Amino acid sequence: MPGPDHDGIALGYDYPRRLSVLVHRSYANILYGGGNMRHRNARAEAVLRRLSRGWLCHWCNRPVPIYRRADACYCSQGCRKRAARLRKAET
């Protein structure tokens, strides 16, 4: 299953002062009926909640990019794999 659209949401223009997330929809999606705006808005709300609590990678403690899934715990595939290898080695 593919990940979320990289250009689907973005940080607001006043990001350092106030936390906000912008939802984008291209003209091609509007014309051809692609994309579910209710789903995209729900994803933006979930990302905003995660950002307000501090959305950090469980492995390297760097911020998780907002184009990742809203329930992502790691910033990259490499961090996810390193954590899995460590869990496997501990057992």
Domain count, the chain: 1
In a domain, 2, yes or no: no
Residue 3: inside a domain: no
Helix (H, G, I), strand (E, B), or coil: what is residue 66? coil
In tens, the pLDDT along 24-62 reads 766 655 555 556 778 888 888 898 899 889 999 999 999
The verdict on residue 20 lying in a domain is yes
pTM of the model: 0.72
Q: Residue 26 domain-assigned?
A: yes
Residue 42 lies in a domain: yes
**Ramachandran area for residue 61 (φ above 0: left; ψ -120 to 50: alpha; else beta):** left
Task: Identify the domain containing residue 62 by its residue range.
Answer: 9-90
Residue 33 region by backbone torsions, left for phi larger than 0, else alpha for psi between -120 and 50, else beta: left
Side chain identity, residue 13: Y
